[in-house]
């Protein structure tokens, strides 16, 4: 897999995810913050929503915020959680990887691997992915 090092724009994205989490953190209901940057340069954020049945992850909330505001091209995405006195960049779950394959397979995903943060295209995180009829691949 082609892992790339982060740049200054990636750090801004991580900071936006941290900021939304700090604003909304609840140790039971809101433990993850996400941020996406779109081709326009706009950044949109979201937090996870815990519920008794199913609560969406932070990533689809951030993607939904972008799409609600007319964006259609996600350039990069990341998610973070609180860890001890700092933050940890998270790898997306399987559902979020599929969502990215359906909507933004070329988007760069910032993720943790062996204790370090890298980025790669969403398509690289789900080899052999199911491709739906509405996917933008």
Beta-carbon count within 10 A of 71 CB: 18
The two three-digit tokens of residue 93, written as one number: 């779950």
Active site residue 19: no
Q: Which helix (H) or strand (E) holds 91?
A: none
Query: What is the spatial distance between Cα 135 and Cα 137, in angstroms, rounded to a whole number?
Result: 6
What are the helix (H) ranges across the chain?
A: 8-24, 58-68, 94-103
- Active-site annotation holder among 15, 19, 50, 59: 59
| Nearest alpha carbon to residue 99 among 118, 83, 82, 123 | 123
Cβ pair 107, 123 in contact under 8 A: no
Task: Determine the distance from the C-alpha atom of residue 112 to the mean position of all C-alpha atoms in its chain, rounded to a whole number.
Answer: 12
Indicate the DSSP class of residue 51.
-
Report the catalytic residues: 59
């Amino acid at each position: 897999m082609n892992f790339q090092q982060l740049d200054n724009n990636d750090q801004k994205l991580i900071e936006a995810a941290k900021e939304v989490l700090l604003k909304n953190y609840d140790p039971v209901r809101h433990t993850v913050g996400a941020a996406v940057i779109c081709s326009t340069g706009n950044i949109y954020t979201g937090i996870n929503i815990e519920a008794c049945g199913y609560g969406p992850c932070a990533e689809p909330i951030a993607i939904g915020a972008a799409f609600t505001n007319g964006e259609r091209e996600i350039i990069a995405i990341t998610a973070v959680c609180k860890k001890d006195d700092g933050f940890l960049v998270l790898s997306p779950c399987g559902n979020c990887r599929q969502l990215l394959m359906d909507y933004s397979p070329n988007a760069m995903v910032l993720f943790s691997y062996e204790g370090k943060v890298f980025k790669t295209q969403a398509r690289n995180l789900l080899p052999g992915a199911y491709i739906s009829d509405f996917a933008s691949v």
